[in-house]
Every structure is written in C-alpha cells, then in structure tokens.
Structure 1
Amino acid sequence: MELTGKRILVTGGAGLIGSELAGALADENHVLVVDDFSNSSDADLPDGVEFVEGDLTDESVVADVVTEDLDAVFHLAAADKYVNSAEPRRQFEANHELTYNLLERMAEVGVDHFLFTSSSTVYGEAPRPTPEDYAPLEPISIYGATKLSEESLLSVYAHSHDFTVWNFRFANIVGDRFGAGVVPDFVEKLDENGETLTILGNGRQEKSYMHVSECVEAMCHVVEHATGSMNTFNLGTRTTTSVNTIADIVADEMGVDPDYEYTGGDRGWTGDVPKMRLSIEKLAALGYEPDLSSDESVRRAARDLVASLD
C-alpha cells in the first residue's frame, strides 16, 4: 500500500512507537490518533494529527474512530507488558478485546488493511537467530501469550475476510522517551543515585535493541512493499546487547561510574526471555536493513534520554 494520500487510524499514537509512526505518516497522509494515555501523555502527541481520546475496549469509541472512509488501521495500542504484569488476566483480556473490537468493526464498515505490532515474546525461548517460520510458538509470558492470541485473530481475518495484514514481531525498541524498559530505567536510577545501580537478574541477559526511528522506517517499508494477505516480519538488528553493556553505556553517557548490584538469577522477571535475537533475513530480502547496531541503538537512546534530563 502506498503511504501517500491515505486516511489512517493509529491506535496508541501517543506511545513511543505510535507517536513516531503517526508523525512520520502525517507528512503525506491524514492521520487520526486514538489513545487513552494509560501508557503515555498528551505531551507526546505528534504535530499534524487529528486526535480522539478513548479506550478501545469500549465498542462505542471503536465505532466513532473506525469509519468507512479509513484506508487502514495501524494498531499499536496495548496494555503494557511491564505496567500491567501484576494483573495478567486483565492484560490478556484487554489486549485481546482491543484487537477483536477493531477487526470486527473494520469488517462491518469495509476497511480491510491492518497493521499490528506483535512481539518477539511469541517465540518463547527459541534458537537464535529466530526466523518468522520458527515453530512451535511457545511464549513463556502472559504478554507473549496475548500477542500470539491476537496474531491468531489476524490470521482469521486475513484468510477468511480478505484483509491485508502486516504483523510485526519486535525486538526491544528504544528511543528518546521515558517509560518502561531497561534503558530509561537505568537513566532514571543513575540520575537519582550515580554511585550504585541495581540490575535485575545477573546482567548477562542479552537481546537485540532497535532504535524507534529505524523501527518506523522498517514498518513503512514493509507496508509499501509486502503485498500478501498475512505478512509477518521480524524487526530488529543483527546484533545483541547485554544488560551489563547497557548499564556501561548509560553510565558512560551520564559521566558516572556506579557499582552494580544484582537481584540474581538469569531472568529479570517471571516470563523474561534471557537471550533473544531475531532473524531479519526476510526484512533484508524485501530491501530494508537497519543502519544502527544494537549497541548503537542503545547509545543513541541513552544519549537522548540523558539530554532530556537537563
């Protein structure tokens, strides 16, 4: 789908990825953003977009924003995997309901292009690098389970309702916004106390980190070039970064030299996958390759976050 002159709904358009995507799309499209600010704020809304505040578990809100004049729905709204981890049932039910409400309403009004932001967590503890056709998919967290459940709904609408679906399984996405995630967590901790840093697990957890700017570039590239009914793509980098290295990078950017304290074990939390790297061969074959390594992505995010403290 050519991303020019379209009318696009972006759910979660005030979040880290959603705001970057909505802002990029707004240059050449009419973009409507819906967000309830449960994981964001109105200060994070990009310029040049139309905005509706609302909760998409409410079917009346969905009916208001999903109308027959839309060309596509880009669905990034979700119950955050960190914020809602203490309420796993609510997290699962809310995410599933958000997606089902949108798909059902789209079918009613004849809108049939849908972008979804899934997660590497659907793979569970898989061999690395993990390709899109790896099986069996056995997530070990509620967040991964709900994303896989949502993907199954997308498959139904792609194959039985003639939808075109772009389904993205993300590595860890980092950028210049405070919120959940290890990079902003370390910046905030070291801003408060530059002498000691508490690290969840043993610090040897190692994952792929992709900068939000390249994440958005990759998504737009796939939307414009992948034309199948169910298009599933990994988004990440070819390299990984350990939690200890992230701590070193953040400390370096902040000009401090803290002692590290560890909570122990090989996982940061229940359901954490200690090692993750996605295969991006499918993305590369479509013509997109990220320029930044995982370490470079982390450093750029850390530098921007530290600058925003001033």
Structure 2
Amino acid sequence: MQLSGKRVLVTGGAGLVGSQMVEDLVEDNDVVVADDLSNGIRSSIPDDAEFVQADLTDESQVTDVITSELDAVFHFAAADKYVNTDDPRPQFEENGEMTYNILERMDEVGVTNFVFTSSSTVYGEAPRPTPEDYAPLEPISIYGSAKLSEEALLSTFAHSYDFTVWNFRFANIVGPRFGAGVVPDFVEKLDESPDLLTILGNGLQEKSYMHVTECTEAIRYVVENADDEMNTYNLGTKTTTSVNAIADIVADVMGLDPEYEYTGGDRGWTGDVPKMRLSIEKLSALGWQPDQSSDEAVRRATEQLVEKLE
C-alpha cells in the first residue's frame, strides 16, 4: 500500500512511536490521531494532524473515529508494559479490547488495511537472534501475552475477513521523550542525584535498542513493499546494549561519574527478558536495514533527552 494521498487513523498518536509516525505521514497524507492521553502528550502531535481524544475500549467512541473514509488504521495505542505491573489484569484486558473493537468496526465499514505494533516480548526467552518464524511463542510477561493474543486476532482477520495486516515486533524503541524505559529513567535519576544511580537487576541485561525515527521509517517501508495477507516483521538492530553500557552512555553524555548500585537478580521487573536480540534478516531481504547501532540509538536518544532538560 503506497502511503501518499491517503486518509489514515493513528491510534496512540500522542505516544513516542505514534507521534513520530504521525510526523512521517502527515507530510503527504490526511492523518487523524485518536488517543486518550493516559500515556500520550497532546503537544507531541503535529499541528497538521486532526486530533480526537478517545477511549478505544469504548465501542461507541471507536465507532466515531473509524469511518468508511479511512484507507488504513495504524494501531499504536496500548496499555504500556511498565504500567500496572502489580495489577496486570487490566493491561491484558484493555489491550485486547481495544484491538478487537477496532478490527470489528473496520470490518463493519469496509476498511481492511491494518498496521499493528507488537513486541519482542511475544517470543519470551527465545534463542538469539530470534527470527519471525521461531516457535513455540511462550511469552513470560502479561504484556507479551496480550500482544500475542492480539496477533492471533490479526491473523484471523487477515485470513478470514480479507484484511491486509502489517504486524511489527519491536525491539526496545528509544527517542526524545521522557516516560517509561531505561534511558529516560537513567537521565531523570542522574539529573536528580548525579553521584549515585540505582539500576534494576544486575545491570547485565542486554537488549537491542532502535531509535524511533528509524523504527517509523522501517514501518513505512514495509507497509509500502510487503503485500501478503499477514506481514510480520521484526524491527530492531543487529547489535545489543547492556544496561550497564546504557548507564555509562548516559553518564558520559551528562558529564557525570556516578557510582552504581543494583537491586539484584537478572530481571529488572516481573516478566523482564534478560537477553533479547531479534533477527532482522527478513527486513533486510525486503530492502531496508537500520543505519544506527544499538549503542548509537541509545546515545542519540540520551542526547535528545538531556537537551530537553537543558
């Protein structure tokens, strides 16, 4: 599907990835953003996009934002994986409810192009680098379970209801935004206490980090060049960065030399996968690969966050 001259809806368009996707699309498309602003920031949405504040777990509000005039829906809204870790049930229910509501309404009005942001967490603790066809998928977090159940819905609508689905399993996406995630967490902690940094786990967790601008560039490329019923692609980098290395990068950018203290264990939180690197061979074979390494993405995001502090 060529993304030019289209009318598209971006859910979660006030979030880190959503707002960057809107910025990419709005130059040559008519873009509507639907976000309840529970995690998103209104000022992140480009002025050229139409904004509707909507709770997508509410069927009546979904009916209002999804109409037959749309050419595609980019569903980026999600109950974040760092939210409600002590009470994960709403996270699972809200993610599934939003996705089913949207798919059902799209089918009613005849809109069949669906772009979805899934997660590397669907793989659980899989061998690295993990390809898209790795099985069995055994997530260890509620967030991963929610994303996997949503992917099952997408498969059903692709194969039984004539949808075209682009499903993206993300590595860790970083960029110029404070909120959840290890990079903004470290920047905020060191800004408040420059001499000591508390690190969740043992600091040896090692994952792939991708800058948000390359993430959305890859999404657009795949949507425009992959045309199967169900198109599933990993998005990430070929390299990884440890939590200790992230701490070193953040400290270096901020011109600090803090001591590190650790909470212990090999997981930062319940369901955290200590080691993650996705295979991006399928993405490369389609003709796109990232320019930045994992370390470079972390450093660029850190520089952007520090600039915001200043």
1:283 matched residue in structure 2 = 283
2:78 matched residue in structure 1 = 78
1:248 matched residue in structure 2 = 248
Structure 2 CA distance, aligned partners of 1:282 and 1:131? 8
Structure 1 CA distance, aligned partners of 2:84 and 2:45? 22
How far did residue 46 of structure 1 move?
Answer: 1.8
1:260 matched residue in structure 2 = 260
2:173 matched residue in structure 1 = 173
Structure 1 CA distance, aligned partners of 2:74 and 2:86? 27
Structure 2 SS opposite 1:115:
strand
Match of 1:111, as an amino acid? V
How far did residue 19 of structure 1 move?
Answer: 0.1
Structure 1 CA distance, aligned partners of 2:57 and 2:129? 35
Deviates more, 1:248-257 or 1:37-46: 37-46
Runs of 4+ with deviation above 2 angstroms: none
Could you say what the CA RMSD is over the residues aligned between the two structures, in angstroms? 0.5
Structure 2 SS opposite 1:210:
strand
Ranges in structure 1 where 5+ consecutive residues have no aligned partner: none
Match of 1:172, as an amino acid? N
How far did residue 87 of structure 1 move?
Answer: 2.1
How far did residue 86 of structure 1 move?
Answer: 2.3
1:219 matched residue in structure 2 = 219
Could you list the per-position Cα deviations for residues 178-237 of structure 1 after superposition, in whole angstroms to 9, with x for gaps in the alignment?
Answer: 010000000000000000000000000000000000000000000000000000000000
Contact 1:14 1:46 in 2 (8 A): no
Q: Does 1:12 align with 2:12?
A: yes
Could you list the per-position Cα deviations for residues 62-110 of structure 1 after superposition, in whole angstroms to 9, with x for gaps in the alignment?
Answer: 0011000100000000001112222211000000000000000000000
Match of 2:142, as an amino acid? I
1:157-236 alignment runs, 5 A limit: 157-236=157-236
1:110 matched residue in structure 2 = 110
Structure 2 CA distance, aligned partners of 1:78 and 1:86? 17
Matched positions, count: 310
What's the TM-score, normalizing by structure 2?
0.99
1:31-70 alignment runs, 5 A limit: 31-70=31-70
How far did residue 168 of structure 1 move?
Answer: 0.1
How far did residue 40 of structure 1 move?
Answer: 1.6
1:92 matched residue in structure 2 = 92
Contact 1:209 1:237 in 2 (8 A): yes
* Percentage of identical aligned residues: 74
Contact 1:19 1:46 in 2 (8 A): yes
Structure 2 CA distance, aligned partners of 1:12 and 1:256? 35
How far did residue 41 of structure 1 move?
Answer: 1.8
What's the TM-score, normalizing by structure 1?
0.99
Structure 2 CA distance, aligned partners of 1:106 and 1:54? 16
Contact 1:23 1:47 in 2 (8 A): no
Match of 1:189, as an amino acid? K
Contact 2:173 2:209 in 1 (8 A): yes
Contact 1:20 1:46 in 2 (8 A): no
Structure 1 CA distance, aligned partners of 2:84 and 2:72? 28
1:136 matched residue in structure 2 = 136
Structure 1 CA distance, aligned partners of 2:85 and 2:212? 23
